Structure 1
């Protein structure tokens, strides 16, 4: 397959909307679970009705593979010269806002120590630095920002994508081998486990996204009658299988089902957009654009608003559902503000600072 695109990269507002829904699912789940600590409700609120929200992360892993393949498709097989620019774009997209949210999360802890008369030190050992500051998946689990474990996988995925930039056919062969090893490890066919979490089912989800992105850029994806309904039902079925299937939650079979269903949703959205651009509410598209900030900061924001409600004497007065809505509104509103005022401007500024004189790189809206 030639490295040039068979189709131009369209504006995919529906993909941004899907990203927003995935982020909201995670926010809903954490809003109920963060209330279970003793000084709040002491139990998962609303009967755990949003316990399935973690599937939004599974969707994100497929989406990551899809987007970087869809956006960087013209660079595939371009050689080593393509890697520095690609890695810089990924770096400025991931790390600056992550470090900012990390600092925002650490600050209350240090402030509490200072107000209580203790030394406001950073409780971060040298062993924690690779995993927490650099998101290196070979280090310890990230501290402070709980959702950063998924960013460790994202960094791993972004680094691995360089093999496709170096040489397309060889990269695809390595990706195929990677997928086969993930399956082999799941069925106990390997003598041990792959290093750096390379055998985790989330890696297979990423590879599904890469495959979907390649197909979307190289061929006209099929669009059958009632396909949107079919893939929607398939995703719900995948969620139910992941939650209630014989293997139990977070098992290999459920991850594969979620990955396939997520890939089917993305392929269907691309097919629909190619036939006729979908009309998506602007606020939903804008929320999708800042979903990374929302994802990073929502736990911090929810904890802050719940603590304020306790301090104000309102937490145990308000109905649980009202408290949940306030927490979600604070998370979404705060994430929106962080994304619009900090994340997106910083990324845009860094891109302008490193743009080639007289050159303009076209990047898909997705």
Structure 2
């Protein structure tokens, strides 16, 4: 997950491949909304929350936003750090940015969730085992199986694996290229040939990891493809998404991800949509709604808080409203509240935390320079 500046490319020199890409922000936001709709569908369908099954044909596919996140992440990391490749002196700055962007805000929301669970709010279904909780905080798999308090955090384990592998590119371009190619081969062999069951190494050789590499390849395709192909590629990606989502994607992410070939196939339309959208924006100078851009800015907070918020709304409806709210308004209002809560978390938690950490680092640099 990246800052708006990183994902838009505003922290880089303004040569043709580094102008702001607002389309990427919008895509991130739409992916987050899709995941929120998916979890609204799942949670409201639980018997304790009313057993409502609404918009299943569409809402049950919302988990595909996760697939899009992973492709976007590979693209954005390459986009933001391509100038760092082969420059070991920049590794520390890269690691700091990745740590600050992911961990502090996540730790805040994770701790709040654990406090709420300890007080008996909701229906927590995770293990309080020490190894499990340490895994949750470290985003490193130390226990098998995992039962995460914030269940959406499973994606962050893969994100951390990708960030770690990307370090090799910064240390040495040739070494990093070899490592990424070897990683891709390992993922394909492990997933498509060996068919290994999940284990402690799952976060390193699962087909989900291939999505990041597809995102990296999409970035390089973006730098060499004629911008006139943008709209056709975007249209092709959207058509393929409809076809693959309707024929290959099941109603539950846990079921579909057990078929690595299907998972790999589902990456193709997202790569085309990302490539086409970025190229199309460059050619046609598209502008986007400030609301969509704000949702894109708040993607990480939306992703972290939406599921607990949906659970709270469903719980309040079950206990206080006695299910008197009609199903469709309940579904729509719950999804909207979850997204708005994420935007507010971004404004009042995420942004202040990131600002404080930036100021802290700037202060330390100033002190260090003064001492020299």
* Partner SS state of residue 193, structure 2: coil
Indicate the residue corresponding to 2:158 in structure 1: 153
Q: Deviations over 1:144-173 (max 9, x none)?
A: 101011111111111111011111122112
* 1:130 paired to 2:134: yes
Equivalent residue, structure 2, for 1:363: none
Normalized per residue, the structure richer in helix is 2
What secondary structure is seen at the aligned counterpart in 2 of 1:223?
helix
C-alpha displacement at 1:8, in angstroms? Answer: 4.5
SS in 2 for 1:34: helix
1:353 aligns with 2:360: yes
Aligned to 1:208: 214
Residues 135, 191 of structure 1: alpha-carbon distance in 2 compared, 3 angstrom cutoff: closer
| 8 Å CA contact 1:34, 1:44 repeated in 2 | no
By how many angstroms is 1:5 displaced?
A: 9.7
**Deviations, residues 60-116 of structure 1 (Å, cap 9, x unaligned):** 11111111110011001112x222211111111111111111122122222339xxx
Q: Provide closer, same or farther for how the CA distance between residues 219 and 5 of structure 1 changes in structure 2, counting only shifts above 3 A.
A: farther
**Distance (Å, rounded) in 2 between the aligned partners of 1:269 and 1:56:** 16
What's the TM-score, normalizing by structure 2? 0.84
**1:221 shift after superposition:** 4.2
1:278 paired residue among 268, 279, 286: 286
Compared CA separation, residues 188 and 138, structure 1 to 2 (3 A): farther
Q: Deviations over 1:178-206 (max 9, x none)?
A: 11122122332589989343221111111
Name the structure, 1 or 2, with higher relative contact order (CA <8 Å, separation 6+): 1
Q: In the aligned structure 1, how far is the partner of 2:234 from the partner of 2:120?
A: 50
1:267 corresponds in structure 2 to: 275
Deviations 1:190-235 (A, max 9, x none): 899893432211111111011122343x434453363332221122
User: Aligned to 2:18, what secondary structure does the other structure show?
Assistant: coil
Contact 2:133–2:148 at 8 Å: present in 1 too?
Answer: no
In 2, the alpha carbon distance for the partners of 1:5 and 1:283 equals 25
**Would the alpha carbon gap of residues 5 and 165 (structure 1) be closer, same or farther in structure 2, given more than 3 Å must change?**
farther
> Matched residues in 1 for 2:239 and 2:58: separation?
19
Instruction: Check whether the contact 2:192–2:260 (CA below 8 A) recurs between aligned residues.
Output: no
Which digits, 9 at most, give the CA deviation of each residue in 1:28-55, with x for residues without a partner?
Answer: 1100111233321135444464111111
2:142 maps to 1:170: no
CA distance in 2 between partners of 1:340 and 1:286 (Å): 10
Q: Is the 8 A contact 1:215 1:221 kept in 2?
A: no
Classify 1:109/1:253 alpha carbon distance in 2 versus 1 (closer, same or farther; 3 Å).
Answer: same
* Count of equivalent residues: 342
The answer to which of 146-155 and 7-16 deviates more is 7-16
Q: Which runs of 5+ in 1 are unaligned?
A: 114-121, 359-366
Tell which deviates more after alignment, 195-204 or 295-304: 195-204
Runs (4+) of structure 1 exceeding 4 A deviation are 189-194
CA offset at residue 240 of structure 1? 2.6
**Structure-2 separation of matches of 1:56 and 1:335:** 16
The alpha-carbon deviation at position 124 of structure 1 amounts to 2.6
Tell me which of 336, 343, 350 is aligned to 1:336.
Answer: 343
The 1-side partners of 2:66 and 2:56 are apart by 22
Q: Determine the structure 2 residue equivalent to 1:37.
A: 46
Partner of 1:361: none
The Cα shift of 1:263 comes to 1.4
2:131–2:142 CA contact under 8 A, matched in 1? no
Q: Deviations 1:233-287 (Å, cap 9, x if unpaired)?
A: 122223234326xxx7222222212222211111112212222321111100110
Segments of structure 2 that go 5 or more residues without pairing to the other structure are: 1-12, 368-372
